[in-house]
Chain A
Amino acid sequence: MLSRIYAIFRARNLEFVRDRGTLAWNIALPIALMFGLAVIFGAEGRNEFTIGVVQIPKAAEAVEHPFFDTRYMRFVPVADVDSGMRKVSRHQLDLLVDFGAQPRYWINPDSSKGYFAEMALLRAVDLAGDTVAKAQIHGQAIRYVDWVLPGILGMNMMFSALFGVGYVIVRYRKNGFLKRLRATPLTALEFITAQIASRLILIMAITTLVFLGTKYLLGTPMEGSYATLFLIAIVGTVAMISMGLIVAARVTSEELAGGLVNVITWPMMLMSGVWFSLEGAGEFVQGAAKLFPLTHILDSARAVMLDGATLYDVAPSLIALSVMSAVFLGIGATTFRWRAA
């Protein structure tokens, strides 16, 4: 059994690394994106002010305060003061405000946008005839490129997993290679295991290479453990590949497979927080995003890289990814078909 899995695994690896165009694309795309974004956005990735609001009843607009009428401000709810303060320290929020019984606000004196947000707040408070207490939080800014790095790596993993497994197996089925394998003692489980192992190793190698290169050249911070981040990448990649296997299980047309992969990847691109945070999005969108493996990968990777989250902190995401992998694999393996018709 292991000999058969290794034979398919090795052949697939050779096919991938000798396909220079695909290999170059897999490595070049995330690097090009990272450097492009670094040039375009530099340290400031956001062009509007983001204000965290603590203890709002449902939505920021529900509290009547002239500050919420300020233009060019995006108000995002913050579950508790601690998480809000951490984001202010990281420059992810320009200002944190609490209009509770004792109105307060927090600001990072190193943030230029925080300075202007404070001016707008004080003017609004003055207009309302209120008073508000000030607190300062210190901390290094997180640049947009630091924040978006896990997003781009995750996106690359997603495309590589879905196209590299889903699309390729459909091609094998269409051109009869799967039918030829069917006539050997190879089982569906062995074939699928080899495909997962091959793609997992290739994705991990490329992702690690790009991560280390980007970190070295752009000085991306790493607050948590590399081992935890590596584990997230492995579990997340398996979930993505398993998702690709569902596409690959029965489809016989490469065009349909391409369409299905796009249907799966685009919502994840938009809703899993690849390019921007979902903090200001509605509850439905945030809830739906939790159904996507990419959301769990990015949330937990950012938590480890930017906030120093531990394995215990990201365990819920790892469990969610593992459950998704099991479900996707179960569906993929039971519905797998060798031949085209």
Chain B
Amino acid sequence: MNHWLDTAAAAMVARPETHWWSRGPFATLAILVAKRSSPMSIALEARDLVKFYPGVRAVDGVSFAVHEGSCFGLLGPNGAGKTTTVEIIEGVTPATSGAVFYFGRPAGTEFREEAGIQFQNTALQDFLTVRETLEMFQKLYDRQADLARIIAECSLEDLLDRDNRKLSGGQRQRLMLAVALVNRPRLVFLDEPTTGLDPQARRNFWDLVRRIQADGTTIVLTTHYMDEAHILCDEIAIMDRGKLIAQGNPDSLLEARYKGLVIELPIEDVPHDLNGIQHRRIDRLGIVEISSNDVTRSLAELTAAAADLNRVKIRQPNLEDLFLDLTGHTLRA
């Protein structure tokens, strides 16, 4: 049984478009099987990447590996070095030192042919329609996806004859994602794909990313939205000031660090003296946070300290808390 599953999973990961089980409801099952039954190969590996600009160490010794078929999130605040790191990997920015490996070999021609890239900001050629843009990019590759399927997946059917310049932000992001998929990529880079989108468009985009991953495509996502990373990523690496400061599965990272819940109160509802209760003031956001393994006891202590609990919030620790604990500053801009 295991042998059959392994063979099917490996075949699907290698050539997902050729198998009926890579579509529809079978897709997620197949991915789960692939992940469970076969030791996943390393699709991408960055080794000790360094990038210096005059007076700035934008990327300072970054190393990580991305498993085939997974979604890997590179997180950090604006200016952390995420985009530079990814652009070094993509081959559009030369590294000062370090190396990038694609399925065990130095990234080169094969990588360019098989990787799909959605940049944070990309201009498209003026006066071209959505259809012409997709066709132009597709012809740049020997590997070619079924354009009709990509158009349907990215919901571009009604926009095909529209000039690129007349697309809204969400439509443009969908087109940029479609452009990144025209070569039937084995590895897709999404750089801040939902920045500037409204909440509905963001959620639609997440669904789209999930469908791409269900096809067996490896995804490298850079974002400064922690919720996005938590929802989409199997593994994350947090960057700050050019260095990786944490790496692992989002839930595992949180479980390893936090045992309880977080109590949040507006700053003005909390007296300055909290009678020795460990807390953290985030003046910029106007809140006080208290980590607690025993919420009942903590609330009692707060009451004793004359705190006003009418606006209290109790929540699970999240990646933002992790980042704050690791770096001392928040991700929220």
Contact = CB atoms under 8 A, between A and B. Distances in A.
Nearest to B119: A180
B139 A177 contact: no
A6 B92 contact: no
Main secondary structure of the interface of A (DSSP, over half): helix
Nearest to B123: A175
B109 interface: yes
A4 B179 CA distance: 15
A183 B126 contact: no
Interface string B114-140: 010101011111111000110111111
Max chain B Cβ within 10 angstroms of own Cβ: one of A12, A175, A177, A183: A183
B260 interface: no
Contacts of B133: 11
A328 B125 CA distance: 26
Interface stretch (A14-22, A52-60, A159-167): A14-22
Nearest to B139: A7
B92 A339 contact: yes
Contacts of A184: 112, 137, 140-141, 183
A176 interface: yes
Contacts of B128: 11, 14-15
A202 B109 CA distance: 32
Contacts of A185: 109, 112-113, 140-142
A3 interface: yes
A86 interface: no
Nearest to B137: A184
B97 interface: no
A176 B136 contact: no
A177 B92 contact: no
Contacts of B137: 7, 184
Contact size range, A: 20 to 34
B119 A176 contact: yes
A138 interface: no
Given A185-B109, A185-B112, A185-B140, A19 B92 contact: no
Contacts of B141: 184-185
* Centre residue among B122, B125, B135, B142 by max chain A CB count within 10 A: B125
B126 A19 contact: yes
Nearest to B183: A184
Given A15-B127, A176-B122, A8 B136 contact: yes
A290 interface: no
Contacts of A14: 127-128, 132
Interface string A314-341: 0000000000000000000000001100
Contacts of A183: 90-92, 112, 115, 117, 119
Contacts of A19: 126-127
Contacts of B132: 11, 14
Contacts of B127: 14-15, 18-19
Given A11-B132, A338-B92, A339-B92, A177 B113 contact: no
B92 A15 contact: no
Interface residues of B, number: 30
Interface in B40-98: 90-93
A95 B109 CA distance: 68
Given A7-B139, A10-B136, A184-B140, A179 B112 contact: no
A8 B140 CA distance: 8
Interface string A169-208: 0001001110111111110000000000000000000000
Contacts of B183: 184
Given A183-B115, A183-B117, A184-B141, A177 B90 contact: no
Contacts of A8: 136, 140
B119 A179 contact: yes
Contact of A186 (B91, B117, B121, B140): B140
Contacts of B142: 185
B64 to A, nearest CB: 20
A15 B140 CA distance: 18
A3 B141 CA distance: 9
Interface in B254-282: none
Contacts of B92: 179, 182-183, 338-339
A230 B50 CA distance: 53
B112 A7 contact: no
A339 B117 CA distance: 15
Nearest to B140: A184
B91 A176 contact: no
Count chain B CB atoms within 10 A of each CB in A14, A176, A185, A339 and give the residue with the most: A185
A15 B126 contact: yes
Nearest to A182: B92
A145 to B, nearest CB: 35
Contacts of B119: 176, 179-180, 183
Nearest to B142: A185
A32 to B, nearest CB: 25
A31 B137 CA distance: 37
A338 B139 CA distance: 19
Contacts of A6: 139
6 contacts: A10-B136, A12-B125, A176-B123, A180-B119, A180-B123, A184-B137
**5 closest cross-chain pairs (CB), A and B:** A175-B123, A7-B139, A18-B127, A184-B140, A183-B117
Interface of B: 90-93, 109, 112-113, 115, 117, 119, 121-128, 132-133, 135-142, 179, 183
Given A4-B139, A15-B127, 11 more contacts: A7-B135, A7-B137, A172-B123, A181-B140, A182-B92, A183-B112, A184-B112, A184-B183, A185-B109, A185-B113, A185-B140
